[in-house]
Chains A and B, each alone.
Chain A
Amino acid sequence: MAIVFDGTRESYVGGLSEFLDSGQKDVPEWVTALRREAISGFAKLGFPTLSDEEWRFTNLEALRRGSFSIAENGISGVSEKSVDSCGFPGLDCLRLVFVNGRFATSLSDAGDAGEGILVKSLSEAISEHGDLVREHLARYADYEKDAFISLNTSYFEDGIFVYVPDGTVLEKPVHVLHVSTDEGSPLFINPRNLIIVGQSSVAKVIEHYVAASQSVYFSNAVTEVVCGENANLEHYRLEFESRKAFNFSTLRVNQQKNSNIASHSILCGGAIVRNNVHPVLAGEGCNSDIYGLFISEGRQHMDNFMRVEHASPHCDSRQFYNGVLDGRSKGVFHGRILVHEGAEKTDAKQTNRNLLLSDTAQIDTKPQLEIYNDDVKCTHGATIGQMDEEALFYLRSRGISMRQAKIIMLRAFTGETLEHMSIDSVREALEGVVMKWFEQRLQNGKRG
Chain B
Amino acid sequence: MLEVKNLHVQVDDKEILKGMDITVAPGEVHSIMGPNGSGKSTLAQVLAGKEAYEVTEGEVTFQGKDLLDLEPEERACEGIFLAFQYPVEIPGVANTYLLREALNAKREYRDEKPLKHVEFAKLAREKMKTLGIDEDLLKRSVNAGFSGGEKKRNEIFQMQILEPALAVLDETDSGLDIDALKIVANGVNSMRDSGRSFIVITHYQRLLNYIVPDFVHVMVDGKIVRSGGKELAHELEEKGYAEF
B residues within 8 A CB of A411? 92-93
User: A412 to B90, Cβ gap below 8 A?
Assistant: yes
Whether, in the assembled complex, B34 has its beta carbon less than 8 Å from a beta carbon of chain A, the answer is: no
Tell me whether A404 is interfacial, beta carbon within 8 Å.
yes
A394 at the interface (CB under 8 A from B): yes
Per DSSP, chain A at the interface is: helix
The closest CB in chain B to the CB of A390 belongs to B88
Minimum CB–CB distance for A396 against chain B, Å: 4
The answer to whether residues A391 and B105 also contact, given A396-B49, A408-B93 and a CB cut-off of 8 A, is no
**B218 on interface, CB distance cutoff 8 Å:** no
Interface size (A, Cβ < 8 Å)? 22
A396 touches B101 (CB 8 A): no
> CA A388 – CA B87 in complex, angstroms?
14
Residue pair A409, B76 in contact (C-beta under 8 Å): no
Q: Residues of B contacting A393 with CB < 8 Å?
A: 48-51, 72, 88
Looking at the assembled complex, report how far the CB atom of A406 sits from the nearest CB atom of chain B, in whole angstroms: 12
Provide the residues of chain A in CB contact with B49, threshold 8 Å.
Answer: 393, 396-397
Contacts A396-B49, A408-B101 given; does A401 touch B73 at CB 8 Å: yes
B48→A397 contact, CB < 8 A: yes
A401 lies within 8 A of B105 (CB)? yes
Q: Is B198 on the interface with A (CB-CB < 8 A)?
A: no
Any chain B CB within 8 A of the CB of A416?
A: yes
Does A367 count as interface, using CB distance less than 8 angstroms? no
Please pick, from B88, B91, B106, the residue contacting A399 in the complex, using a CB distance under 8 A: B106
Shortest Cβ distance from B161 into A: residue: A398
A-B pair number, CB within 8 angstroms: 82
Query: A395 contacts the other chain (Cβ, under 8 Å)?
Result: yes
A371-427 interface with B by 8 A CB criterion: 388, 390-391, 393-402, 404-405, 408-409, 411-413, 415-416
Q: Is the CB of B73 within 8 A of A400?
A: yes
Q: Mark B88-116, 1 if CB is under 8 A from A, else 0.
A: 11111100011101110110010000000
The reply to whether the CB of B62 lies closer than 8 angstroms to some CB of chain A is no
Proximity bits, A175-217, B CB within 8 Å = 1, else 0: 0000000000000000000000000000000000000000000
Choose from A390, A398, A402 the contact partner of B98 (Cβ within 8 Å).
A398
Cβ contacts under 8 Å, A397 to chain B: 48-49, 72-73, 75-76, 81-82, 84
Taking A398-B98, A399-B106, A399-B109 as contacts, is the C-beta distance between A412 and B76 under 8 angstroms?
no
* Interface set of B (CB-CB < 8 Å, partner A): 48-51, 71-73, 75-77, 81-82, 84, 87-93, 97-99, 101-103, 105-106, 109, 141-142, 158, 162
Chain A residues in contact with chain B, CB under 8 A? 388, 390-391, 393-402, 404-405, 408-409, 411-413, 415-416
A–B Cβ pairs within 8 angstroms, 13 of them: A388-B88, A393-B50, A395-B90, A397-B48, A398-B102, A399-B106, A400-B76, A400-B102, A402-B73, A408-B93, A408-B97, A408-B101, A412-B141
